[in-house]
Amino acid sequence: MTEITYHLAEIRERVATILTRSGRAADDAMILAVSKGQSAAAVRAAAAAGQRDFGESYVREALAKMDELAELSLRWHFVGRIQANKTRPIAERFQWVHTLDREKVAIRLDGQRPAQAPRLKVLIQVDLAGEAQKGGVPEAGVADLARAVLELPRLELAGLMTIPPLTDDHARTGALYGRLRELRERLAQSGIAAPALSMGMSGDYELALAQGSTCVRVGTAIFGPRAA
Ligand SMILES: *Cc1c(COP(=O)(O)O)cnc(C)c1O
């Protein structure tokens, strides 16, 4: 497990270096440790190394880890596809949702968010590359969904998220991340604040940070390969 500590230290250093080089504060972006397919012991090791934010894609797997690690007071982010009939545990147990892509789900999450909990932070997942199978709302639908979220009292519109197509073409991925940043600026001009940009994964987080990412979602570069 010392490998996890080592990987985290290395990633933190790289993130801080890129941020500083871009004229940003060294702590201006969050590192989200995506722990789907990883054991509770691996999450515990990352937590021991100071990691607090963890991302999960499957509700049942996530709940088992949350229960096992309850004493650690970790922050959990849902980063998987949301099934409309399985929103309740997401609304009740997570602090962040990165993959909101339809109003129906927003309304359900709002209705199911416990009254005593802080507002659920949601990011709108944007499909910039026309890959419907990965989820996400097309760019043209983002403003309407954002306005719908702003009407819901138990949700906080935290930002935007995107998943790029699988490619080795870094220029293309960088351009895509730049488009998410531009979309955030256009929304801001029309009075919609969606400040966070959740973009960048193990293979491209440096690119994403250079394009303004405020949250990199890093799995295998921290934990190693996932269980199938
Ligand atoms: C699995 C996953 C990640 C992490 O991917 P790695 O390549 O392991 O860093 C990031 N974002 C989402 C939405 C994921 O599902």
The structure's pTM equals 0.97
Report whether residue 45 contacts ligand 1, using a CB cutoff of 6 Å: no
Closest among 124, 76, 129 to 99, alpha carbons compared: 124
pLDDT in tens, 51-90: 999 999 999 999 999 999 999 999 999 999 999 999 999 9
On average, the pLDDT of the chain sits at 97
Exposed/middle/buried for 222, CB within 10 Å: 0-12, 13-18, 19+?
Answer: buried
Report whether residue 149 contacts ligand 1, using a CB cutoff of 6 Å: no
CA distance 123 to 127: 13
pLDDT at 227: 84
185 CA → ligand 1 middle, Å? 25
pLDDT at 56: 98
27 CA → ligand 1 middle, Å? 21
pLDDT at 93: 98
58 CA → ligand 1 middle, Å? 12
218 CA → ligand 1 middle, Å? 6
Which atom of ligand 1 approaches the CA of 163 most closely? Answer: 13
Report whether residue 222 contacts ligand 1, using a CB cutoff of 6 Å: no
Q: Whose CA is nearest to atom 12 of ligand 1?
A: 79
* pLDDT at residue 24 is higher than 90: yes
CA-based angle 72:39:94, to the nearest 5?
A: 50
Structure-token pair, residue 47: 């937590």
Q: Give the helix/strand (H/E) hosting 47.
A: helix 40-48
The mean pLDDT value for 143-153 works out to: 98
pLDDT at 1: 53
The mean pLDDT value for 98-113 works out to: 98
